[in-house]
Amino acid sequence: MSNVIISNNLSQEETLILGIETSCDETAAAIVANGRRIVSNVVSSQIDIHSLYGGVVPELASRHHVETILPVLDRSLALAGLSLSDLDAIAVTSGPGLIGALLVGVAAAKSLAFAIDKPLLAVHHLSGHIAANYLTDPELTPPFLSLIVSGAHAHIVYVEDYTKIKLLAQTKDDAAGEVFDKLARAVGLGYPGGPKIEKAARGGNTKAFPLPHPEIKDSLDFSFSGVKTAALNVLNQAEQKAASTKSKRCEILSDQDFAATVQETIVEILTDHLAQAQETTGAKIIALAGGVSANKRLRKSVQKLANRLDVKLVVPDIRLCTDNAAMIAAAGYYIWLEQKFSALDLNASALWQIDET
């Protein structure tokens, strides 16, 4: 277990929400005060288990959540110095994500809410990613534009209000993080691919080979599968050439140049679409969100865009970019304020769209 942040100066008036996150390969529980201050934040990552297979194995993820959820919950309370009766509500990611994985968190949340007779709050995973920014920047309030890039999503949304989110663009096929993960695996860098590509890309040639910048007519939607296939073709050709000349693939195309070119292309596409969305909405604030928002090249590129457009950029603390439960508790607070409580027959929803919240 890792990623433990503790701050224990609680006042009587503060609303304490326990967040639970199990949508993919992190089992996480956290307590957040008033949607803005982390009291405890516990994340148990399954990276070691899934890296053996080069990606998340859903069945293993569910089983591991079952084994880990109670110790993670206990630890989040112990670190906060709180007991269940101190909590005001239980927030849980109920979608989207891996259905078996989601069900573990939802079942735990329903049991706790029933046991302590406190409201149950259903949180959309991407609203959680957006809320990581509320934990990082106490001044941030809607409206703002957000680019959410994770292992499963590439969304641009307009956050009209805390619980009112308009979908402006999404990917038609692969997510940005998914492309990083698949290409990192193809080149032998391991899992998860995003951080490995970022590390390998340092000092590399960002234009080592041409990659497409797919655009969809009259739409801000993304399409990354063509980028992934083109990069895989370049890699295969380099491998074939290496085999025919009895050399090594990395002598023809280095991991460094491959990673730098892939990273730069994805960052350029994301930044271009974000620029168009800002033009359409006239937004004065941009917030990044999701695991890929940890990428320093992306942060730099979007910062440059924000400077050019004279808008404010908010980026989550690096530790809050990837999946965690503090962001779920923070998003849950705004659902709690609106008293949009869920019944105890809440189900997990693998394909929940963000504008259906």
Name the site residues for ligand KG4 (rule: CB under 6 A): 24, 150-152, 177, 180-181, 192-195, 198, 290-292, 294-295, 322-323
**Shortest Å, Cβ 230 to ligand KG4:** 19
Please answer whether residues 180 and 266 qualify as being in contact, where contact means their C-beta atoms are separated by less than 8 angstroms: yes
**How many Cα atoms are found within 13 Å in the side-chain-facing hemisphere of 306?**
20
- CB atoms < 10 A from the CB of 256, how many? 17
Q: What is the DSSP letter of 342?
A: B
Looking at beta carbons only, is 119 or 192 nearer to ligand KG4? 192
Looking at beta carbons only, is 79 or 149 nearer to ligand KG4? 149
**Shortest Å, Cβ 9 to ligand KG4:** 29
Site for Zn ion in 141-160 (CB under 5 A): 150
- Interaction between residue 293 and Zn ion (CB under 5 A): no
Looking at beta carbons only, is 77 or 175 nearer to Zn ion? 175
Count the helix, strand and coil residues of the chain and give each as a percent rounded to the nearest 5: 45, 20, 35
Looking at beta carbons only, is 224 or 334 nearer to ligand KG4? 224
- Interaction between residue 323 and Zn ion (CB under 5 A): yes
**Shortest Å, Cβ 323 to Zn ion:** 4
Please answer whether residues 346 and 106 qualify as being in contact, where contact means their C-beta atoms are separated by less than 8 angstroms: yes
**Shortest Å, Cβ 290 to ligand KG4:** 5
Helix H or strand E segment including 92 = strand 89-95
Question: Which option in ligand KG4, Zn ion, none does residue 204 bind, with CB closer than 5 to 8 A by kind?
Answer: none
Looking at beta carbons only, is 16 or 231 nearer to ligand KG4? 231
Residues that contact Zn ion, how many (by CB under 5 A): 2
Spatial distance between the Cα atoms of 106 and 127, rounded to a whole number of angstroms: 16
Q: Mark out the alpha helices in 118-254 (DSSP H runs).
A: 125-136, 176-187, 193-201, 225-244, 249-252
Per DSSP, the chain holds a count of helices (H) and strands (E) of 11, 10
**Shortest Å, Cβ 197 to ligand KG4:** 6
Q: What is the DSSP letter of 72?
A: H
Looking at beta carbons only, is 167 or 230 nearer to Zn ion? 167
Name the site residues for Zn ion (rule: CB under 5 A): 150, 323
